[in-house]
Structure 1
Amino acid sequence: MSEEVEVKIFEETPVEERLEKIRKKIMKDAEKQASEILGEAQGRAAKVIEEAEKRAERRASEILRREAEEAEREKRKIIAEAKLRARQIVTASKEEGVRRVFEEARKRLEALASSKEYVQALEKMIERGALALGGGNLEVVLPEQHANIDLNLEKIAEEVSKRLGVKTKLEKARETVYATGGVIIRKSDGSLLIDNTFETVLEREEKNLRTKIAKILFT
């Protein structure tokens, strides 16, 4: 090797070393910076994932809560509808029961009105009505088909007078009433009356019975 070449190599070597050192320093700094950037990015990514997971959990909890609330509302709705339906069934059954009872009662009263026992039953009804009105001058209003029925009104009046201590007189009214059977007893001056026709008696009893049923059903 010539002296010129040796001098050149000697002069260039320090520069190359310095460049290599610089290159290594740059690489080292770059690696460090890249590592820091990567670490920071990974940290941010982890935080994003963590927050996303928390949001997802909150969302899932919210959905489950809403679904649970919706399920509970649906459950209450179904139960309420079932209770209403059950009440309707019970009410309908009670109504049907009442209807059948009174239909049977009407048939029996119709049968009574054409039986031998009717006159005796009618006289008892007149006596009770006369007692309830307090005696005095009274009129008996009969159904048209029973207008000519033979009643012992004098005997009834005597019994009422005896029991009340009030002179009592009973007479058949000129007019009649539209009814299957029974009787209306009234004061001769029209101030008071008791309607014991079969239809009215049944109507009163039906109202009372329906009131009792309503109390049983809705209290």
Structure 2
Amino acid sequence: MSSFQLNLNPRKEPLGFIKVLKWTASVFAFATCGGFKGKTEIQVACHPEVSDNKTITATFGYQFRLNEASFQAPQGVNMCDVDWKIHVLIGDYSSSAQFYVTFAVFVFLYCMLLYVGYTNLYCDSRKLPMVDFVVTLVATFLWLVSTSAWDKALTDIKTATGHNIVQELLPCNQQGVICHFGSVTTMGSLNVSVIFGFLKILWGGNAWFVYKETSLHSPSNTSTSHSQGGIPSPTGI
């Protein structure tokens, strides 16, 4: 097999240009999801000192194992005689998030290595375009699955870190503890990650250009090239 050779010429062709778009979408997809960090806050007061509110904070981020995100009271004080550290958010969405980010990284590397580093092999091989065609079809399906799963997980994350915390958190249901939802970090970047995920339908559109590179599109090319090579066609008996 030929060694890796950097070649940027494919980006000028439709097949390579769409791969550049997919490569870019992959970068934004795993960067916006994998780099997210946020926190949710509630205001807690102990009856009858209702006016003396303290902020209790739970920090979360990728890989979105919310059931490991414990609440922290200011300066470690046990507000209302509650050990807030033993209380956590609800839900584990790591499987959907990791599947989404891992697949985005795979697409990033696949587009970069195959279409930039091994263009010489792609042009000279009959099998590689066929393999690429199969991978493109499978990747299109898996992107739809992973993005849909991540979209659903993101909706649940917003619910688990939003106003429902006050109803779900056990100490907030105890007598003498008054809780009010404070705020949660905006998840605009996570919304962007979902948008870029669904932009991966470019994989489906790119399948046509990949298909044109395979022998399935023009199987007669092989026989034509042989006849032009000076090999006489067999005559009938």
TM-score range, shorter chain: under 0.3
For the pair shown, which has the larger CA radius of gyration, 1 or 2?
A: 1
Structure with higher helix content: 1
Instruction: State TM-score, norm by structure 1.
Output: 0.23
Which structure is higher in RCO with an 8 Å CA cutoff and minimum separation 6?
Answer: 2
